[in-house]
A and B are shown apart, each in its own frame.
Chain A
């Protein structure tokens, strides 16, 4: 089976150490994490992990059910890139001198739909959101004009399908728990 890029989304309780618990599962399988974003989800107290990794679908599927085994993980999904809308944000710092010494940088900002966040006498910070390839391309175009610092965030993603509705999932989980309590 061919390796390809997957976006893993895990919904978890917000507890100390869970990040470690999850990342060591990748280490154990010798999977390199390309990007990792953790933040609070739409439901207070529940965190969302967004992890980008390249591997075969078979291995990713098994990994996700094993991630779900953790007591503090509510649900773990994985998606191919065409199943999600995803975005990253990149920041580029250039010297204000190079910005003002011609119109190269200004043209690039316009062409790439980037924007300028801050201009000081010494430096200027440019921001661009997009896919990794797009933010990378802008970096390569800006670099000949002197990029002093460059940073890119991890991926955030939203699914195209409906299956990732967490609140519905939680309601269903509650119903199942009640049925199980009743049966026991």
Chain B
């Protein structure tokens, strides 16, 4: 027998434990990083992992929620599947928020949870929880393994499901006895599943109909969603936009797919999006929605949303088509394939006059909102100027992670992006506590650029423990806490819609600088405008982690704003407009 045969024999047939088979399966899927937290029911897996640390990196977070948000951040910057480990019971339930977040934001994840040994299932054993039952509504697929022989096949299936079609989170629960049991290792990647069709063949007619509408349109507007990023359509999207001359606007998760300085890019859509795109949604004659799902934060009142426009909806998930906004033409496809095919069918066009119609809105927004936000004349520091100055100082070449709330919307509005996959934020679920651990994952997933995490004082304290992970891994994460001593977005709503009754939104915070220093991370507090630039320079010059707290104006509001349930073009530029 030749050496070659021996090695292939080893690869396919050797006797391994279930836990070893699991780790070897992950290597077959090209997994280079695992985020996790060990515990009783997943100890055999952690024991097996110990022999493979030359091939795969494990990041120990300080909470399972931290592990899954980190896996999300990793997946979002890298385009790879995020992987996380947690033990049974509370370890598993601590993943749920992140799983739900990944589900609604279409993030590919494979989560492994340990489970009590199979004879104890259903007996209320120590650290037993029905994680398969609990995670059903928020996973794309989940499965419980009690037989070691199933492990390789189920892992292969899990990765195929997580990343194909509309991506999403998969949870695999493995009983402790299956982790210990002997099995053989033979890995075969999945290419198809009988009951699962992740993509449909594109109907030629829908492409022709769409091209006709695009070629005829006088005032077309293209809406760019995360589907563009997920399918890797950034380049063809720009070719398409430049050929047809169609102006673009992005959803929150579609941000960074198009460089913010592109002349055809008109800004962000939705509740705190830009004035022009929101108003023009209700002025255009054609709405070309690409890889987005018409979330209510984007549409406002759907009864009055773009009723004058014909709608072309390019979307890979058939259940999103005609769900919120009816489509004149639906192209059920991933964005890249659809745009490639459409590119051949559309004619060269120019919509300069129509694009110029955005200008007065841009000017009004600049005068009434943007200038005051990023070049304020009043004494208190604004979130906008901090984000703006940090972004300028990084030459817009950093990865931005945010938490949820005012700082998220301000960061999304003012960061301005150069590179795709550089906006990491929780969209659909709006998960406070997402920002810091997501920055951990983003820094691991893309070590070539600094990660700037813009957090509020509220969200920061929800997952503050991940400062330890940042320190332990010496990650290039710059944590910027915009501290207004309020749950700012809730306070804003209380001010505008609840008669200024500030019910439980004021926060008495600890000394964040001492805390950061306690974690061994260099930290600086800025209270005055004059100190900001130097602090930012110091932060960016520092190798590895840095913590910057900026005391911002306590009662600033985020504008423009479309009040909840209002018509999208009824966007307000200030409290009284």
Contact = CB atoms under 8 A, between A and B. Distances in A.
Given A17-B136, A66-B319, A180 B195 contact: no
A65 B319 contact: yes
Contacts of A183: 201
B195 A21 contact: no
A68 B194 CA distance: 13
Contact of B200 (A28, A71, A176): A176
A73 B319 CA distance: 14
Nearest to A73: B195
B137 interface: yes
| Max chain A Cβ within 10 angstroms of own Cβ: one of B136, B137, B200, B318 | B136
Interface residues of A, number: 26
Contacts of A62: 319, 322-323
A179 interface: yes
Given A68-B319, A71-B161, A71-B193, A180 B136 contact: no
Interface in A32-62: 62
B197 A176 contact: yes
A24 B319 contact: no
A177 B137 contact: no
B199 interface: yes
A72 B195 contact: yes
B319 A74 contact: no
B199 A180 contact: yes
A13 interface: yes
A14 to B, nearest CB: 10
Interface string A88-130: 0000000000000000000000000000000000000000000
A17 B132 contact: yes
A70 B195 CA distance: 9
A69 B293 CA distance: 15
A24 B138 CA distance: 11
Point out which of B141, B195, B322 has the most chain A C-beta atoms below 10 A from its C-beta. B195
Contacts of B136: 17, 20-21, 24
A121 B429 CA distance: 63
Interface in B186-207: 191-197, 199-201
B141 A71 contact: yes
A168 interface: no
Given A17-B132, A24-B136, A74 B201 contact: no
Nearest to A65: B319
Interface SS, A side: helix
A41 B332 CA distance: 29
A181 interface: yes
Interface string B357-380: 000000000000000000000000
Contacts of B196: 71-72
Contact of B319 (A21, A28, A69, A170): A69
B137 A28 contact: yes
A12 interface: yes
Nearest to B191: A181
B413 interface: no
Interface string A163-183: 000000010010011011101
17 contacts: A13-B195, A24-B137, A28-B137, A62-B323, A68-B318, A69-B317, A70-B141, A71-B140, A71-B141, A71-B161, A71-B196, A72-B141, A73-B195, A173-B194, A176-B200, A180-B199, A181-B192
A124 to B, nearest CB: 39
Interface residues of B, number: 24
B133 interface: yes
A17 B317 contact: no
A110 to B, nearest CB: 47
B201 A180 contact: yes
A77 to B, nearest CB: 14
A17 B317 CA distance: 23
Contacts of B200: 176
A63 to B, nearest CB: 9
Interface string B136-172: 1100111010000000000000000100000000000
B153 to A, nearest CB: 14
Contact of A71 (B133, B144, B195): B195
Given A20-B133, A20-B136, A24-B137, A74 B199 contact: no
A173 B191 CA distance: 14
Interface string B93-135: 0000000000000000000000000000000000000001100
A177 B192 contact: yes
B191 A176 contact: no
Contacts of B192: 177, 181
A177 B133 contact: no
Contacts of A12: 195
**Among all A-B residue pairs, the 4 with the closest Cβ atoms:** A65-B319, A71-B141, A74-B195, A71-B196
Contacts of A16: 144
Nearest to B140: A71
Contacts of A181: 191-192
B194 A74 contact: yes
Nearest to B132: A17
B197 A173 contact: yes
A155 B136 CA distance: 26
B201 A179 contact: yes
A57 to B, nearest CB: 13
Contacts of A179: 201
Nearest to A20: B136
Given A65-B318, A71-B196, A181-B191, 18 more contacts: A13-B194, A13-B195, A17-B136, A20-B136, A24-B136, A62-B319, A62-B322, A66-B319, A68-B319, A70-B141, A72-B195, A73-B195, A74-B194, A74-B195, A176-B201, A177-B192, A179-B201, A183-B201
Contacts of A176: 197, 200-201
Contacts of B137: 24, 28
A181 B322 CA distance: 27
